[in-house]
Structures are given as structure tokens and as C-alpha cells.
Chains A and B, each alone.
Chain A
Amino acid sequence: MNLGGGQVVNKQSVMPSSSGASWKSTAAGGSGGGGGGDGGVPDQFPAGLRVLVVDDDPTCLMILEKMLRNCNYEVTKCNRAEVALSFLRENKNGFDVVISDVHMPDMDGFKLLEHIGIEMDLPVIMMSADDSKSVVMKGVTHGACDYLIKPVRIEALRNIWQHVVRKRKHEWKDFEPSASADEQKPPEEPDYSSSANEGHNWKNTKRRKDEDDEGEDRDDSSSLKKPRVVWSVELHQQFVAAVNQLGIDKAVPKKILELMNVPGLTRENVASHLQKYRLYLRRLSGSQHPGGMNASFMGGPDAGYGSISSLNGLDLQALAASGQLGQLPPQSLATLQAAALGRSTNSKSPISAPVIDQRNIFSFENPKSRYTEVQSQHLTNSSSSKQMNLLPGIPTNMEPKQFVSLQHQSGQHSFGSINNQVLIQMGGQSQSQSHSHSHSHSQGQSNTNPHHGLRPPVLSSEMLTRGGVVDMATTVYNPVVSQASSLVDFSMNHKNDSSGSSYPLGGSLGIPNLASATPTPLQGDGNLDTKVPRRGIVSSYDIFNDINPSGIREWGLQDVGMTFDSAQHTMQGGSGPVLLQHNRSSEREMGGQNRNSTSGKAIFSPGVETGSHRNVGQQRNSYVAENSLRVKAEDGSSHNNTLYPEQYGDDLLAAILKQHHQQQQQGVGQSETEFGFDGYAMDNLPA
């Protein structure tokens, strides 16, 4: 893998000019005109904004349409919510914003709002003649971007583009939970002076993402992806040298960045890598600390859950698509679904892998972190002791579930598309989630954001328990949906994926299994690659199981999500067995589930489709391979482990894995070590 010496793949830099605009232009590459090139993006935005108006009152509808046309927006009107939903579903990327009346005969406007939020994650503006506080509040809690009082004036409509831009902006933020958000944002959106472009670009990006879902490297250009950094061995060594020089306690990303003096490397990259590294170190040292991390993550397991349902629709598919996680995903997904969904899960099918995808998705976001986490998980898996630490409190239940459900639901969609969606959604909703693991939990619950629910801190807890992986989880999950999607799109940073693997795939349900599983190196070494990738993840579940038998279920879900990511990374090799061994019954994916079977078995079994897992995993692989999360919809079966490690950081991971693997072989943490690196410091993640 190894990409070779510390190269910093800066996808964004495709368009070197204006950082902010770079992605835009890139993204806009294909998009309509948006972003033209760097900086000089023609400011068409918000002209051409694609609006869908839903109102059963024909008079209002006609007036709105005319008003929007006068604002130079592209308007599609419909008078029935169901019709609107089908429009949206058919044209995944066909709209930028939805305006809907609250009061409609066939479906409550808030219900529609929820659906859109979950499935498409588009900004939705509510309108009503009713201006009573309670109704407006309801709009807020259901996640509406804005609330207009009828009669609507054209001035109110002129500015709706801000919601589109804002949402995209948040999506980006979500994607990089670990990284300094500020760092991330500025480049992407320098400010709103050029927001028009950005918004436009985003639109394009998103569009492109969806379109290119299949395959290409969308991730790097189309969206606001952060530049992908390939942490080669050399680069990592530089990093380690810098860290050692500063002292691990004092090693802050900024200083490390300065010391490293690598052009093109951003503080965010360093920050996320640092997280992983810290996690990795923790794992090495016995992962005792997980408690700390866990705490933060564990914060609100259920929070995440709440919204699982929302996630379900979206993420499930995505997750499923990403499949890479495969191993656990089904279980976790199932668990997640079962648990979380309670609410409105759209027909999610059994968890099957989708969850994993989510994880992967997340992992992408945190390229490094995820990877490390996953790794750590894996490692921990192998070493029961380690695992224990990791899991201490994994509340995780929530997250994995969420993912599961999410994935599940979206099972059918190709991952890619889902990802997009997820991304979008996540971005929008989960924003907060990813950041605050614990917070997210609470958030997840409220139905304000169905997406949020996804976040479920559970992941984080998982991550934590895993030994740092948690961290990733949380971040990853938060926007579960979004993250996943972001990951997908962003897959660029595969590295994350690897960390993703840290997700307790293996054990989402029951992490404990991990212990038994030999810590196949998640990446790299072969073991990991092959087995771990999947297993690693799965096993992680196992590990968690042990640790958190009761909570495993949830974890499972989370893990699934997490593992998803990690699965992607690690799964590649399909070597999962290591971790999964415990329960893993024939299917790796299920393996985790089995473990949970005690607790969460039921959850998974229902629908866990290993096959889908495979797909997921595979997708992940492919995803990973490309470094773009785009999880190709279930096609993947190539789990090549090798891919995984490469993705992550390729060189770096592989190298690390190898080292650790060898060292750890005896010990439990072997896989961990390798992955450990991945595991970002959990604590960082939540931040």
C-alpha cells in the first residue's frame, strides 16, 4: 500500500485555488456550472435552486410557484405529500430544498418532514397559516429548517437558499467530527460571501456524489471532502517523531503540523491522525483508559437510538451497501433496528450489513481515527483483556442499532446513493451528534432530528470500550446517517475506514467475542486484512459483548455501524474471523450477532443478511479501495484486506499493523495494536 511516502492526497486540491472553492470547483466539475473553477465560480447561486413545494391548497401552490420562479428558482409543485415523497425518492438528488405546508389532508406536514429528513436529508421549510407557538415549536422539534407564516411573501422565499447552504456546511462539519471543525470549515466555506458558489457547489457536489456514486472517485472532488491524506509510513514516522518531540501530552495538532512541515497537510488531518494514534497507544498500554473515553461516549446511547428509525431508512441502505462491515452489520443492524427502530423504521429489512456501512461511512470521516479505532477493536478482540477495557460502559447499544436499522432500510439502495443521502442527512442532522457523543445520544432521541438519533453515542461508547475506537464510533455515528454517507462519499479518506473497522463490528453485539478471536491484524498483516477487516469488526462486537452483555445488543448495532467503517477497512480482507470467532457462526457478520444472540441475537437474526453484509463489506472494500466511501452498492465482494489497510492510510496502517501484529500476536491486542493506531483517541473524537 502504501502509497508511498507521505503523500497527501488532497482531493480538494484538485482545484487548488481558493480552498473553499476548491471543492466546489471540483465538485462542480460536473455540476452545472457551479463552481467553475477556483474562486471564480460564477455566482449563479442561488439561481437554479431546485425547490419542491408541497401544499394541498391550489391557490397557495400557484402563488408560491410563481414567487419562486420570480426568485429564479426551479420549482416543482405537488399537492400531495405522497407524491412529493415519490418525487424525492425518484430523484434523489433532484432537489435542494422542500417547502411544505403543515396542514395537509393525506399526510401531516411534520410527518413528511420527518420522512424527508431521514430519507433524503434535505432542508425542509414548513409553512402554515397557523402561527401559534406550539405549531412553530413542533416544526423546530421535527427538524424543519424554517417556518413561514402564510400568507407567504416573496421576500421570505428569496432567502431560502441559506438553508441549503447551511445544511451542506453542517454536513461537512459532521464529517469531520474529530478534526477541528473550524479547520475544516474554513476551507470549505470560506464565508458566505462566496457562499453562493459554495451552495451551488454543494448542490452539485451532492448531486455529483449521488451520480457518481458508483464509482468514481467522487469522494474527492465532489464534495466537501477533506483532502485525503494518505498516511504513509514515512509520514507517520514524521508524525510520531513530532509527537515524541513535543511529548505525547503536549502534542497538539497545530504543533505537530508545524513540526512536520508537510505541505498540504492540514491541521485536521493531523488531529484525526493524532486521535487514532492516541487510541492506538492506549490500546498498547492495556487499554485501561477506555473508561474515560467510554464515559464520554457512552453518554447517550439511547439518544442515538431514538433516531435510529430515521436512520434506518437511510442508512440502512447505505450501510447495507457498504456492506463491508458485513460481518457484524447484520447483527448490529438488526439490533439497532430492533432496538432503535421501534419508531418508524421504514421497512427496514434486517440489519444486514447496512449498519456496517454506516460505520464505514463514518470511518471515512475520520479517516484515521476510525481506522485506529477499528484496529484497536480488533486488537482488543484478540485480547480479551483489552476488550474489557474498551467496553466498560458501552452504552452503545444505540448506535449500532441505528445503523443497523438505517442500513437496513436502505438496503436496497445502492450504497452509493445511500451514502449520499446519509451524508446529507447526517450532515444536517447529526452535526451535533458526531461531535458530542454523549450529547448525541440525547439528541438522537429527540425526534427533532431523526438523523440525530442515528448518531447514537452508542458508537462512541463502543469505540471507547474498544479502546479508543469508541471515539470513532461516536463521531462516526452521530450523524450516523450523515456520517455514513459522508464516509461514503468521502471515502476518500479511507484511512478512516480502517478506523472504522475499529467499530466493534465484531462485537457490536457482543464484543466479547473479540477476545477469543485472534487478533488478526486488521489491516495489513494479512490476518487482518483478510480476516480482520470483516472480522475485526465483527469481533469487536464480540468483545463488546463480553464486556457489555446487556448492552451488546445495542452495541452491536453501533458496532455494526462502526464496524461498518472498520469493516470497510478491515473487512477488506474478509479476514474477520479472528474476532468473530467467538460466535461467529458461519457468517462473519453474523458472528457478532451470534454473540449477541444472547442479547441481541434476535435482533440480528431477523434480517441479518449476511449476504448483504458481504455486500456491505465488499462495498466497503471497493469503497475503501477507492478510498471513497462510496460504497458501491452491494457489489463488492471484494473484501480485500489489502485494500483496507491501504485505504486507511495505507502504508501507515499496514506498517503499524504489521508491527503490532507481530508483537501482539501473543498478546491480545495484536490486532489492536495495529489497529490501535486507528483507534483514535476516543476522547478526541467526541470533541
Chain B
Amino acid sequence: MDQNHMKKQINSARNSLFQQGYLDEQFIQLEDLQDDANPNFVEEIVTLFYSDSTRLIRNIETALDNYPLDFCKLDDYMHQFKGSSSSIGAKKVKDECSQFQECCKARNTEGCIGIFRQVKHEHATLKRKLETYFQVSPSNSLENRHTLQRNTQLCAAD
């Protein structure tokens, strides 16, 4: 029971991530890829993402420090960052990235700076949540995953 209870909690934690829009369907794709051969695939990917995205964020910050802003370059960096984020299903982060790109197109310096702050914020928030999630989630076995997915679907139906 305890285990079930645990599972339920984990499930709801996971579900809330989806419901709150932190994660989208792409994350489920990653989960689907997880199998016995790669039991921690999702975690590995997320870890990889965060280490790589740090570099991208740094690039953008540097670019934002150079005035006048080079919007093309910024857009470029953000494009990469967005692609990366979307591949792990980081929905909110991705949405902020899109907004940032809009500001670049509009050559809106202030807008860019402001939006980027939000990007970083979402990026950090998701990281925390996922770290927690991975800590508590059981090792990914197929069974767990399926359970999670089923639950997610159920929740999604709400």
C-alpha cells in the first residue's frame, strides 16, 4: 500500500507537471524510449539538456550585454535553445523562447532582455521540478512507465 501510495504521489507529481504546462507530450515520447536497456534514459537526457543549455544561456547573456543588440545572433542562439528545450518537452521554456524570438524580430531590446529573464526562470524552475521528480520516481521499468502513462492519460482527461 505504501508503495501504491508512493506511486500515486509520484504519478500526481508527474501529472501536475503536465497539467501546469511544464512538460508536454514530447516528454512522454522520451519516457517511451526508456526501456530496460536504457532504464534512466529520461533522466540522462534531461541532465544532458541542462548541461548543454547552460552553455547556450551563457551565450545569450553575453550577446545581451553587447549593445546594440545583435538580434540575428540572438535569434540564432535562441533558435538552438528552443530546439533543445522542445526536444525534452520543456513546454514553458519553449514558449518563452518563442516570445523571445518575437522580440528579436521586432528588434525590441527591452523586450528581449525581459523575456530572457523569464526564459531563465522557467528553465530553472523546470530543472528543480524534474530533479525532484527523478529522485522520487521509481526506476524506470516498463511497468512503472506504463502505469505513469496510464495515469497521465487519465489525468489529462480531466
Query: A66 is contacted by which of B33, B76, B82, B89 (Cβ under 8 Å)?
Result: B33
Residues in chain A near residue B41, CB distance under 8 A: 66
Indicate if the CB atoms of A150 and B45 lie closer than 8 Å. Answer: no
Once bound together, how far apart are the Cα atoms of A234 and B48, in whole Å? 71
- Per the 8 Å Cβ criterion, residues 4-51 of B in contact with A are 26, 29-30, 32-33, 35, 38, 41, 44-45, 48-49
Expressed in whole angstroms, the minimum distance between the Cβ of B129 and any Cβ of chain A is 18
Indicate if the CB atoms of A62 and B84 lie closer than 8 Å. Answer: no
Query: A154 is contacted by which of B29, B35, B79 (Cβ under 8 Å)?
Result: B29
The stretch that binds B, out of A52-60, A320-328, A348-356, A595-603, is: A52-60
B131 within 8 A of A: no
- Per the 8 Å Cβ criterion, residues 44-86 of A in contact with B are 56-60, 62-63, 66-67, 70
Indicate if the CB atoms of B45 and A62 lie closer than 8 Å. Answer: yes
Expressed in whole angstroms, the minimum distance between the Cβ of A148 and any Cβ of chain B is 12
Minimum CB distance partner of A55 in chain B: B83
- Per the 8 Å Cβ criterion, residues 64-82 of B in contact with A are 76, 79-80, 82
Once bound together, how far apart are the Cα atoms of A620 and B83, in whole Å? 50
Indicate if the CB atoms of B26 and A57 lie closer than 8 Å. Answer: no
- Per the 8 Å Cβ criterion, residues 123-138 of A in contact with B are 128-130
Minimum CB distance partner of A70 in chain B: B33
Indicate if the CB atoms of A58 and B52 lie closer than 8 Å. Answer: yes
A264 within 8 A of B: no
Indicate if the CB atoms of B48 and A151 lie closer than 8 Å. Answer: no
Residues in chain B near residue A70, CB distance under 8 A: 33, 35
- Binary CB contact string for chain A from 139 to 168 against chain B (1 if under 8 A, 0 otherwise): 000000000001111100000000000000
Query: B86 is contacted by which of A66, A151, A154 (Cβ under 8 Å)?
Result: A151
B88 within 8 A of A: yes
Query: B48 is contacted by which of A56, A59, A101, A129 (Cβ under 8 Å)?
Result: A59
Residues in chain B near residue A57, CB distance under 8 A: 52, 80, 83-84, 87
Interface residues of A toward B: which range?
A: 20 to 34
Once bound together, how far apart are the Cα atoms of A66 and B44, in whole Å? 12
Once bound together, how far apart are the Cα atoms of A60 and B52, in whole Å? 11
Minimum CB distance partner of A105 in chain B: B80
Interface residues of B toward A: which range?
A: 20 to 34
Residues in chain A near residue B29, CB distance under 8 A: 67, 151, 153-154
A103 within 8 A of B: yes
Residues in chain A near residue B49, CB distance under 8 A: 59
Expressed in whole angstroms, the minimum distance between the Cβ of A131 and any Cβ of chain B is 11
Expressed in whole angstroms, the minimum distance between the Cβ of A536 and any Cβ of chain B is 56
Expressed in whole angstroms, the minimum distance between the Cβ of A637 and any Cβ of chain B is 53
Indicate if the CB atoms of B80 and A59 lie closer than 8 Å. Answer: no
Expressed in whole angstroms, the minimum distance between the Cβ of A99 and any Cβ of chain B is 14
Expressed in whole angstroms, the minimum distance between the Cβ of B25 and any Cβ of chain A is 8
Query: B79 is contacted by which of A66, A103, A152 (Cβ under 8 Å)?
Result: A103
Indicate if the CB atoms of A60 and B87 lie closer than 8 Å. Answer: yes
Query: B89 is contacted by which of A60, A151, A154 (Cβ under 8 Å)?
Result: A151
Once bound together, how far apart are the Cα atoms of A70 and B79, in whole Å? 27
Indicate if the CB atoms of A150 and B33 lie closer than 8 Å. Answer: no
Indicate if the CB atoms of A59 and B82 lie closer than 8 Å. Answer: no
Given that A57-B52, A57-B84, A57-B87 are known contacts, is A129 also in contact with B79, CB under 8 Å in the complex? yes
Interface SS of B by simple majority: helix
Once bound together, how far apart are the Cα atoms of A592 and B139, in whole Å? 73
Indicate if the CB atoms of B52 and A59 lie closer than 8 Å. Answer: yes
Indicate if the CB atoms of B33 and A154 lie closer than 8 Å. Answer: yes
Residues in chain B near residue A128, CB distance under 8 A: 83
Indicate if the CB atoms of A63 and B80 lie closer than 8 Å. Answer: no
Given that A129-B82, A151-B87 are known contacts, is A62 also in contact with B32, CB under 8 Å in the complex? no
- Binary CB contact string for chain B from 45 to 62 against chain A (1 if under 8 A, 0 otherwise): 100110010000000000
- Binary CB contact string for chain A from 535 to 579 against chain B (1 if under 8 A, 0 otherwise): 000000000000000000000000000000000000000000000
Given that A58-B52, A59-B48, A59-B49 are known contacts, is A66 also in contact with B83, CB under 8 Å in the complex? no
Residues in chain A near residue B52, CB distance under 8 A: 57-59
Residues in chain A near residue B26, CB distance under 8 A: 151, 153
Residues in chain B near residue A101, CB distance under 8 A: 83
Once bound together, how far apart are the Cα atoms of A129 and B84, in whole Å? 9
Indicate if the CB atoms of A60 and B84 lie closer than 8 Å. Answer: yes
Indicate if the CB atoms of B83 and A63 lie closer than 8 Å. Answer: no
Expressed in whole angstroms, the minimum distance between the Cβ of A100 and any Cβ of chain B is 13
Once bound together, how far apart are the Cα atoms of A58 and B88, in whole Å? 12
Residues in chain A near residue B83, CB distance under 8 A: 57, 60, 101, 103, 128-129, 150-151
Expressed in whole angstroms, the minimum distance between the Cβ of B124 and any Cβ of chain A is 17
Indicate if the CB atoms of B79 and A63 lie closer than 8 Å. Answer: no
Residues in chain A near residue B45, CB distance under 8 A: 59, 62-63
Indicate if the CB atoms of A150 and B86 lie closer than 8 Å. Answer: yes
Expressed in whole angstroms, the minimum distance between the Cβ of A68 and any Cβ of chain B is 10
Once bound together, how far apart are the Cα atoms of A101 and B80, in whole Å? 11
Once bound together, how far apart are the Cα atoms of A151 and B52, in whole Å? 17
Indicate if the CB atoms of B48 and A58 lie closer than 8 Å. Answer: yes
Once bound together, how far apart are the Cα atoms of A429 and B33, in whole Å? 35
- Binary CB contact string for chain B from 128 to 144 against chain A (1 if under 8 A, 0 otherwise): 00000000000000000
Residues in chain B near residue A56, CB distance under 8 A: 80
Once bound together, how far apart are the Cα atoms of A484 and B138, in whole Å? 58
- Binary CB contact string for chain B from 76 to 119 against chain A (1 if under 8 A, 0 otherwise): 10011011101111000000000000000000000000000000
Expressed in whole angstroms, the minimum distance between the Cβ of B93 and any Cβ of chain A is 12
Expressed in whole angstroms, the minimum distance between the Cβ of B71 and any Cβ of chain A is 16
Once bound together, how far apart are the Cα atoms of A473 and B150, in whole Å? 62
Scoring A66, A101, A103, A153 by chain B CB atoms within 10 A of each residue's CB, the highest score goes to A66
Indicate if the CB atoms of B32 and A154 lie closer than 8 Å. Answer: yes
Query: B88 is contacted by which of A59, A103, A153 (Cβ under 8 Å)?
Result: A59
Expressed in whole angstroms, the minimum distance between the Cβ of A294 and any Cβ of chain B is 49
Query: B84 is contacted by which of A59, A67, A152 (Cβ under 8 Å)?
Result: A59
Minimum CB distance partner of A154 in chain B: B29
Expressed in whole angstroms, the minimum distance between the Cβ of A590 and any Cβ of chain B is 50
Indicate if the CB atoms of A130 and B89 lie closer than 8 Å. Answer: no
Indicate if the CB atoms of A63 and B87 lie closer than 8 Å. Answer: yes
Once bound together, how far apart are the Cα atoms of A152 and B83, in whole Å? 10
Residues in chain A near residue B44, CB distance under 8 A: 62
Once bound together, how far apart are the Cα atoms of A150 and B89, in whole Å? 11
Once bound together, how far apart are the Cα atoms of A60 and B30, in whole Å? 11
Expressed in whole angstroms, the minimum distance between the Cβ of A136 and any Cβ of chain B is 15
Query: B38 is contacted by which of A66, A151, A153 (Cβ under 8 Å)?
Result: A66
Residues in chain A near residue B33, CB distance under 8 A: 63, 66-67, 70, 154
Minimum CB distance partner of B32 in chain A: A154
Residues in chain A near residue B30, CB distance under 8 A: 63
Once bound together, how far apart are the Cα atoms of A59 and B89, in whole Å? 12
Scoring B33, B35, B79, B87 by chain A CB atoms within 10 A of each residue's CB, the highest score goes to B87
Known: A70-B33, A103-B83, A150-B87. 17 other contacts (CB 8 A): A57-B52, A58-B48, A59-B45, A59-B48, A59-B87, A59-B88, A62-B48, A63-B30, A63-B87, A66-B38, A70-B35, A129-B82, A129-B83, A150-B86, A151-B83, A152-B87, A153-B26
Q: List 9 A-B contacts (CB under 8 A).
A: A58-B48, A62-B44, A63-B45, A66-B41, A103-B76, A103-B80, A150-B86, A151-B87, A154-B32
Q: Which 9 residue pairs spanning A and B have beta carbons closest together? A: A129-B83, A151-B87, A151-B86, A59-B49, A151-B26, A66-B33, A60-B87, A59-B84, A150-B83
